[in-house]
Amino acid sequence: MVRTSGFTTRRRESKKGASFEERDHREALGRSRGGYGTKVCVIADGHGKAFGFALAPGQAHELPLAPAMLDSLPAIPLWVVADKGYASNAMRERIWDMGARPAIPAKRRDGPVACPKWGSLHRTGTDIRLRRSENLE
């Protein structure tokens, strides 16, 4: 089982050096509803051990980063567990095509999809562990 997760973190350093645009592009910084920060997208094994990640500006969506993270997997998992941010038919098809089963709940506006209820419990545990291990402050 593999889990994908995304969360936003804020920058706490002083702003020195290159122009804002150059620094933002280089450091994956951007504005979101939560303020100025970076989005961290993580792919972890079934025990919550992270083995891949990607950074994006705070206003960016996680979904475009997911295919590269899935391609970096060392083996094909039985399940890919993700939150509603990764919910799309294309993402589910990609997971099925690689030989795994998606456990991604549907968004409210979408129709029902086959998703086991245990998927959200496992994903939440991974989010909590990743946030605790975050040493960015």
* Domain harbouring 47, CATH code: 3.30.420
Contact (CB, 8 A) for 48 and 134: no
Rounded alpha-carbon distances, angstroms, from residue 133 to 13, 40, 104: 19, 13, 24
What are the two backbone dihedrals, phi and then psi, of residue 16, each rounded to the nearest 5 degrees?
-135, 160
- Listed in sequence order, the residues at least 6 apart from 108 whose beta carbon sits closer than 8 Å to its beta carbon are none
pLDDT for the residue numbered 122 = 53
Among 128, 135, 83, 87, which residue's Cα sits nearest to residue 109? 87
> Residues of the chain whose pLDDT is less than 70?
1-36, 116-137
pLDDT for the residue numbered 10 = 54
- SS3 of residue 35 by DSSP: strand
Contact (CB, 8 A) for 50 and 130: yes
| pTM for the structure as a whole | 0.63
pLDDT for the residue numbered 125 = 52
Structurally, how many domains does the chain consist of? Answer: 1
Supply the range of the domain harboring residue 69. Answer: 2-133
